[in-house]
Amino acid sequence: GKFIRIEFNFAGQIAGANIEWYLFEKPRVTNQSKQERNYHVFYQFMKGAERSVKERLLIDKGPEGFAFTRRCRQTIEGVDDGAEFAALEAALETTGIPGSERVDLFRVLAAILHMGNMQFQATRNDEAILREQVAAEKLCHVLGIPLSEFTRALLRPSIKAGRDWVTQSRTKQQVELSVEALARSMYERMFGALVGRINAAMRRPEGKSTFIGVLDIAGFEILETNSFEQLCINYTNERLQQFFNRTMFVLEQEEYTREGIEWSFIDFGMDLQPTIDLIDRTKPIGVMSCLDEECVMPKATDKTFTEKLHGLWAGKSDKYEVPRFALGFTIKHYASQVEYSTAGWLEKNKDPLNENVTRLLGNSSEPFVAQLYADYADGAAAHRPADAALGGGGGARVATTLKRGAFRT
């Protein structure tokens, strides 16, 4: 979703604009349903980019040649991805983003595609090794990082144990999850950099007197399988609906009373606070707090998290129900009753980044990549927002920041 702030000067003319974004759908980068496809820009890039750019970024296949784009729909009826890419390039040029910076954006897309093609296998000791190095070599070339250091950081990262650093081997599943988390992180940071650059282009120094805010948010979601992402979206909609109800119905009627207008107070019966408390309350802990708590427990699983939720809320809230068979829970939202599957929630909430790899990216020979991960570079004193990276357009983004070392909730 996004909030667009259109600013006006004292003469009533548009004086600038600003975009804030939130609830970014990162999982789409690595996992899509068969009816959907990855973000359109991947297909547009492979279809419409100049051959010289694709050769420079080692893209020699179409969507069917990359794991992150071939497991779902690759085309949309009536949509020309090549024409859409030309329109995208024209829009970027209009925004003032030159060709060299556009290639930096496409570099991230290419890196994510190569990342998805890396394949791993397990040794007899259950340690992960690369099945072949071609995709990894292409990835490291595009990102400007050494191949040997990257594979070591990915497969046998160093972790701090007390005062010492020790090398820890990873299983095939751990490495695959780490690669997916890195791909999602890279796309999100690139997206933040682009929004920051657009904000910088729309910023005007002249005086502003007022603004109009346009809120665009994903609607309430009920899918065949509802997971962590749907809960986040539906929770946000629940909060917005509560705000709307209070502003439009409750406060407006109170204003009528203060003004002495004869009015029979109407109870619209739309108090959503019990559902909101169920999700975000801290005492007793709601769904989000319980999830954070389980993420720090050494032997916690999706099953223990679900069982803990049942113990806290089953029979104690009429908004919460336990499904008969599936691993999950049901919440009665204002729009509808939704059954959520809790499979994979702990990993989704942690979304763990391999800091050995991100440190390499922070020291990349490619300036744009290095700036995207500047907060992980050697000697980085503090977090620097990703949107400071593209074309020096930092500082434009107001409220949305990327959390490092924190849970998604």
Say how far apart CA 252 and CA 22 lie, in whole Å: 29
- Position 345, amino acid: W
Would you say residue 218 has pLDDT above 80? no
Would you say residue 112 has pLDDT above 70? yes
Residue 391: which pLDDT band, with cuts at 50, 70 and 90? low
The mean pLDDT value of the chain amounts to 88
At 356-386, the pLDDT tens digits run 999 999 999 999 999 999 999 875 544 444 4
Say how far apart CA 41 and CA 106 lie, in whole Å: 9
Residue 400: which pLDDT band, with cuts at 50, 70 and 90? very low
At 43-80, the pLDDT tens digits run 999 999 999 999 999 999 999 999 999 989 999 999 99
What percent of the chain shows pLDDT beyond 90? 64
3-state secondary structure of 17: strand
Res 402: pLDDT:
45
Least confident of 1-10, 248-257, 301-310, 348-357: 248-257
Mean pLDDT of 298-311: 95
At 200-209, the pLDDT tens digits run 999 877 776 7
Q: Which contacts (CB < 8 Å, 24+ apart) does range 399-402 have?
A: 399/20, 400/20, 400/21, 400/22, 400/192, 402/188, 402/189, 402/192
DSSP assignments along 185-233, one per residue: HHHHHHHHHHHHHHHHHH---S---EEEEEEE-PPP---SSB-HHHHHH
147-155 and 355-362 helices, crossing angle to 10°: 160
At 12-31, the pLDDT tens digits run 888 899 999 988 888 899 98
At 276-296, the pLDDT tens digits run 999 999 988 999 999 999 999
At 94-104, the pLDDT tens digits run 999 999 999 99
